[in-house]
Chain A
């Protein structure tokens, strides 16, 4: 059977499963559509949050970034897990007690202001749509590679599948399809990692393999990797870095962004009790950690495998002939994500770091520049091929990557649709709307969001990482502080919250646009996006953390300069702090 047929079988089979579950769980009433009837078990909910959370960025892209950056890119690992500690302790239990459907609804009620609710809707839609654009683009690329179709066709297929189960099934469909997707993506991610860890270290558990001995050389595997890449002029994989401020702020931005992203928060409305909201956050992190503990092992082992593929006789010997390159390089060359130029015309693939420090060595060896450019985002997808694993493993990883991208897209679409139908239309434009009308509006806004995201996914406003960073920055700088202050402070009032959200949002957007281009349009940036230009060395990716601090500060100053919130609001804050009585809230 050809690889193409195997891929079709795995991807097609997994999709049939998701669609079957969506039809089986077809939503009935509005409260079913939004929060799956309020009766999802913490472990089930944890798995669904896991699938929701782990997107194309975690599955396809993250290990590749760690492989390229080594220690410095540990920020992704800590940032995208540490946010759950904040969620479990600072937000989830109280929002569950509050017992409403959406994030803007809480902000609107707590800050007794329709305008606060509208500002929250804007923040939510901007953050979610930018995130979905990245997911759709990622899904399109993965489809086009594995189904061997044009990337636009891949994107269309992705849009149709998301449309069917998100619009028809609502959240109940999504909750159970996402449990299925979690299973598919975690199996797909760990199986190749186990094989590779066994090959390289003899240890079947990749997280332990990462700190074990490399079988071929007898050295610890990280030592071996450091040696191989420094021989070729790259920085040491495990080396410490100088710009710690930026590393701290980037990690903080990802953590706060995690806790402020509406599609994750909305999940905590679906558990029966407040205590279950706490457990759900714990279980979610367990399910997420299975992938996140595997990812650094995948990163270092894939980098070592790539290097030994190119330099089979060691770094002191000559690299392989281009004509004898393995099949996977040929296949990825077709997509343009691996490029080879024979700069010194010796027919061999010289892969090394074109740095000034390494130039004398390169010249002495007759090398005329690095000849192989490997896109970081292909590393996880190409990983089984690099390690010569069987065809079914490659089919599996295709299905897993698509599950990751599509499940997150669906969760975000749900958050968008409920913000539009529930907060925008029912909450302000037409409060008299019927339940049926609200459900219809939710489905229409979901469809519109899919069309917009698909259109922009075909022509993304920059690299996926930039788009995702914007989504995190916005969530961190706008929604998280408002939610947290709404629970932990009785003093913060409507004016403070609105001023805080708007300044946090504007500050973050402006800083990003100055370096990345206004609305991400290329060439419209005011300063080149290089470390020398960053204020205090803070990258645009890290600015969300500063935006959040600005948001907190402005909200406190404005609130203290204006009147106290009314007594009934202070009583509301009091009531969300105590779990008792949350039971009634789910029966709308």
Chain B
């Protein structure tokens, strides 16, 4: 792959010689043009490939070998290989059945939420549509972990705020027990509803309104048009959203962990956690489950992509239309209520509940029994292991984002602009962490770094490396978005005007990429501060980070303290999100 363009039958010897000649002629000061010549670039690419390949593929290789290890699970390399870990999975089907049950309920609910929101916000003329559409991004930043904690606070048996109120009204039992498959599915559905909304509203927006208009002009009524034209055109989008959400649901961890563990209800992700971190650890079983999950997700996601591509007719033109909004008359108030209802359930109510809980000694909704205090925040910021957890998460977020953005920026530029041979293969490898559930990747990293003679297991170094590895796809997608927007002729023009490669990069390329780089920095920072799946495996006693600390506090200490910690984390994330939105708006403003 190193000689594609500069190889086959070229009458000149090598690109390096041409390079040397041009440089020699142009004088000693111009070493920079070398950078864009094929040979050194190939070396840079190879180096990056090796480093990224090691970071990404190395843990996966460990995962595969360990899953086939049927000897002593703690010995490496394995003494005996076999399929036992996989066959065990099928022999104890209750975990798989639990996973399917939760995933199915949550998918149906999430797609229902997403479809209704998408239809209301893109197709009906309700007041304040634009603002509501922006608010729809918020549930995504809430994370399933915060959602699960909040709904635990609201609907936990006996002590849940809503259940307390319910009993106080004279009912003998709880209204709803959230520590159940239904509770897990409910929390996940509220979170994934936004994802479904984004995908389905994109399908609705990309539909040319003239397709419906021509149906009307040709004499079909509203209903006939909706059934014969609108529905078939939107269906592939809805279907692929359904499959996508289902795949995400299979790999979801936090809600099942917070709401499932107390009732000993296990889905595949929590079972992996259990197998790997209980005593004695059964890494082989955990790895086998992790890889099966990975396989199932890859297949489902591939199916979603296929449906999107094959079934989408002419709706995907890349053009965004603003479909004509339907006048809904008096119906607009109930519709507005439904749209706001989702935001309230997904964001406002959970945050309110956490807030109310975090300021009380014992959480209650009975006003006469309320005892307000700041003690939980004092503990959260002072307690032995918790304050360092906040400090560590902040430090990791800043360092990983600051180092990650330039590195990923170079990768993005090489893949999407430099037109090197092998760029597609490189992109594929770099995007792998996106397809592997975070928890499974964490397991692979755990096993890989325990067995490596570099003593960084249990330190922040390993967490930093792990974060960087799993956030490569996030950074790459964000930066690629702007790299692809920058017309190559903007760069070429600088060269023709006489600028060297370095000067062009400094004066043209980097300033144009800046909004994307800032966005990538913030997104990686946010993701680092909230990271749970990898951290839970790699955190050591002296390298605690926030999300696992919150989970541990929830399982072992009080819900009031956990609520305070969760709110502190959420506040940190929302500050970063606010900056992100400002940057995004400025970029959009500059384009208009």
Asked if A and B bind, the verdict is no
